[in-house]
């Protein structure tokens, strides 16, 4: 297992991040525990979750599954860099009661305490803002985070789904308080969706943040979905059929799968391996529903993509180009 530094934090983390959003809604607790066992045995030490995972009336269930896994063996907690998130409301009703969502100081405190209880731990290594809160000033957000850090309940803060300008705003506000600020950004980034290269990644690099891409297979579109490879259909989200209805998208995915067939490579593994070639990427988030899917993801660490293949992939799925030139007409 390869390891790297998580942005400007002092944390050393694995190059793959175990995403747990399927634990509960799609993967039962015993299987979820088996996946975590296998991940830890393989050297994956970075686990990512969120308070809302479990979804619907079962929000929080994913954190509970992880907490029960920790409770079975107390030594596991010290081996894991644990990340969770706050923003969305935890109510079963569609509309939350006021102050039960977003990033007010009240909700940050309430959400952190509830996550600690569900996770059965005394601290969270990386506490992430799941989305932007355009109503709450960063001065208030950082005040709440500073209190949690002083209490020893969280160690570092990160963002998720932030645009570049908000990463800058957040870190400038933190700097005025003498705080470290954000150490990571979790964003949509993969071979087929490269818009993060325009502003998000340059901002993250300028402020020393690690990039943690979510949806590295673009909802399953890059997982070998056209040729029915093992597990490809299960990885695909509901958006994939809609995307493939576009003839140009389908043709590009077909070219992608044909290219990798000629090289004898699995599309899902190559999509992960391509992200691992990007120097700005800390590690992509994998979301296995089964132990077999975890095994397949781990194989990406063993791939050494040929420069010519990388060039072919990037010709097929071109990025926007370097910023600010990418914005030119």
Which CATH number does the domain housing residue 163 bear? 3.20.20.100
Tens-digit pLDDT profile for the chain (329 aa)? 899 999 999 999 999 999 999 999 999 999 999 999 999 999 999 999 999 999 999 999 999 999 999 999 999 999 999 999 999 999 987 888 899 999 999 999 999 999 999 999 999 999 999 999 999 999 999 999 999 999 999 999 999 999 999 999 999 999 999 999 999 999 999 999 999 999 999 999 999 999 999 999 999 999 999 987 655 655 566 789 899 999 999 999 999 999 999 999 999 999 999 999 999 999 999 999 999 999 999 999 999 999 999 999 999 999 999 888 888 76
Residues recognised as catalytic = 53
Which residue in 292, 268, 160, 278 sits closest to 218, CA to CA? 268
pTM score above 0.85:
yes
Q: Show the beta-strand stretches assigned E in 161-292.
A: 182-188, 210-214, 285-286
Query: What is the C-alpha to C-alpha distance for residues 122 and 328, in angstroms, rounded to an integer?
Result: 49
Burial of 302 (0-12, 13-18, 19+ CB in 10 A): exposed
Report the number of distinct structural domains present in the chain.
1
Give the domain range for residue 74. 3-327
């Amino acid at each position: 297992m390869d390891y790297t530094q998580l942005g400007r934090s002092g944390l050393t983390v694995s190059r793959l991040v175990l995403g747990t959003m399927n634990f509960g809604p799609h993967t039962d607790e015993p299987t979820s525990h088996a996946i975590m066992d296998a991940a830890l045995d393989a050297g994956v030490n970075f686990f990512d979750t969120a308070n809302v995972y479990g979804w619907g009336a079962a929000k929080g269930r994913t954190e509970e599954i992880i907490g029960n896994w920790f409770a079975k063996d107390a030594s596991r907690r010290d081996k894991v860099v644990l990340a969770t998130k706050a923003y969305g409301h935890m109510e079963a009703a569609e509309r939350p009661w006021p102050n039960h969502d977003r990033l007010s100081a009240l909700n940050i405190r309430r959400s952190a305490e509830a996550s600690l209880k569900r996770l059965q731990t005394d601290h969270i290594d990386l506490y992430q803002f799941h989305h932007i809160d355009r109503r709450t000033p960063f001065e208030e957000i950082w005040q709440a985070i500073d209190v949690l850090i002083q209490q020893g309940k969280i160690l570092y803060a990160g963002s998720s789904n932030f645009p570049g300008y908000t990463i800058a705003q957040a870190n400038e506000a933190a700097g005025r308080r003498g705080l470290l600020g954000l150490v990571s950004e979790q964003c949509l980034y993969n071979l087929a969706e490269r818009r993060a290269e325009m502003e998000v990644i340059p901002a993250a690099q300028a402020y020393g943040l690690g990039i943690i891409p979510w949806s590295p297979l673009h909802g399953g579109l890059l997982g070998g979905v056209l040729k029915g490879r093992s597990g490809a259909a299960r990885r695909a989200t509901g958006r994939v059929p809609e995307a493939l209805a576009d003839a140009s998208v389908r043709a590009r995915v077909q070219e992608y799968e044909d290219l990798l067939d000629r090289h004898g490579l699995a599309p899902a593994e190559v999509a992960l391996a391509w992200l691992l070639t990007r120097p700005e990427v800390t590690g992509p988030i994998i979301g296995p529903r089964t132990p077999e899917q975890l095994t397949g993801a781990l194989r990406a660490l063993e791939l050494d993509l040929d420069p010519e293949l990388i060039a072919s992939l990037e010709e097929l799925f071109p990025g926007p180009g370097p910023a600010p030139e990418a914005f030119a007409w």
